Amino acid sequence: MINKRLNIAIVGLGNIGSYLFNYLIKNKKILTEKNNCIPIVKYVSAKNINKKRNIKVKKNQWLKNYLDATKIKKIDLIIELIGGAEGAAKKLVFNALKNKKHVITANKALIAKYGNQLSKIAEKNKVNLEFEASVCGGVPIIRSLKEGLIANKISKIYGIFNGTSNYILSSMDKENKNFKEVLLKAKKLGYAESNPSADLNGDDVSSKLKILSSLCFNSFLNDNVYVEGIKEIDKTDIDNANKLGYKIKLLGFAELLNNKIYQRVHPTLIKKESYVASIDGVLNAVIVDAIPVGQSSIQGEGAGAAATTSALVSDISSILRGNVKFPFSISSKERKYLKFNKIDERLFSAYLRFEVLDKPGVLSNITNIFSKNKVSIKRLLQNPDKNKQGASIIIVTHKSKNKFLTKILGEVTKKKYIKKKPKLIRIDEV
């Protein structure tokens, strides 16, 4: 007979919280059998108690004040599903850990911003802080880094970490639609929020990358991330990429080069035949380069109630088994402050697009600017406008330092023959 119990409080009852509540009720028996401990949803809390939800909550299960979950002695575990790096979520998690409660969260913004502080509190009080669901939904990358790849020295982690941006870029390609059309469809399908700015400007990927980088390199979370989103990518860039043998993906990279870490998020041209290029729709994919395992990859649904619940239950099961672990795999005393390099010194090949007036000397002026900055041109295409008033010049470069590429972009932008803001998209061999 199993007598061991784990009393749980779920704070936040949106789509994910409600789905998780129902899952734990329906699957209580199997979770008990697998983990030799009974998971009991003792309390719940939500901003709007009267909101219609597809769950049956008893009156005595409701907490009027969400912070009461941190004070009630019989609560062992608090699951934070409020969201956001500040406000209620921050208060709840800090107070819970200080009061020696285990915490599970899907909140990447909170972990990315306060993970260093929170992990120290969890370690001091010998409780768990688990956040599998904070990165790539149902893709079990956090636990893979903490446990499955523990024998490996990781040199690089990269991939598609945001389903919304991936859906938009792949749909623009496959459906021959522009950015605004695809974004509207994504909102209607529930793939994009009413305000999708964090997905589109790269901030969502940046938060996830910080967490992954810290786990890979046993370092403290660091805000030194170069970030570009996909708002400037248009159908012309998608078409040009295809002609050149590439696909455009919003990728996150964390890599250790010469004992320095580069963290970057930006649209990237990758070869059509590469594995990452085949990841379409709302799927996420994570690739790890390590010794001795070599390269390993994992893909799956990056968001949604079902995928997120899968990750949350994985964390719950770990706690049910009594596995008290360091939040970032090793103790805070052993984590390092590594030097983080800016992207300026990183070598890239690049795609640059210039929309120009059709005038004599324009092309030679542009190529002279490239020559002056010691950037070698690998390929050049010139496409006239249909109205014959201008032309599109596409240049693919050999590898050069990022600072020289951006300098070229800045210099050409100032020229009077430029009709539209020039584009620079980096090329990566993945």
Active site residues: 208
Neighbours of 106 (CB within 10 A): 27
Name every residue whose Cβ is closer than 8 Å to that of residue 402 and which is 6 or more positions away in sequence.
343, 344, 345, 346, 347, 348, 426
- Backbone region of residue 245 per phi and psi (left: phi > 0; alpha: psi in -120 to 50; beta: other values): left
Instruction: Quote the CA–CA distance of 401 and 362 in Å, as a whole number.
Output: 24
Instruction: Assess contact for 152 and 251: CB atoms under 8 A.
Output: no
Q: What is the total residue count of the chain? A: 430
Instruction: Quote the CA–CA distance of 10 and 23 in Å, as a whole number.
Output: 12
What's the chain's Rg over C-alpha atoms? 24
Task: Return the structure tokens found at 209.
Answer: 């990358």
Cα of 196 vs its chain's centroid, Å: 14
Task: Return the structure tokens found at 271.
Answer: 């070869």
The position carrying tokens 């996150």 is 252
Instruction: Quote the CA–CA distance of 46 and 51 in Å, as a whole number.
Output: 9
Biggest distance spanned by C-alpha atoms of the chain:
87
Task: Return the structure tokens found at 329.
Answer: 């795999």
Return the ∠ at Cα 192 (arms to 202 and 284), rounded to 5°: 60
Instruction: Assess contact for 160 and 251: CB atoms under 8 A.
Output: yes
- The dihedral through the CA atoms of 227, 266, 212, 262 has a sign that is negative
The secondary structure of residue 302, as a DSSP letter, is -
Instruction: Quote the CA–CA distance of 140 and 248 in Å, as a whole number.
Output: 25
Name every residue whose Cβ is closer than 8 Å to that of residue 265 and which is 6 or more positions away in sequence.
202, 205, 206, 209, 225, 226, 227, 228, 250, 251, 252, 253
Instruction: Quote the CA–CA distance of 17 and 15 in Å, as a whole number.
Output: 6
Task: Return the structure tokens found at 277.
Answer: 């290029």
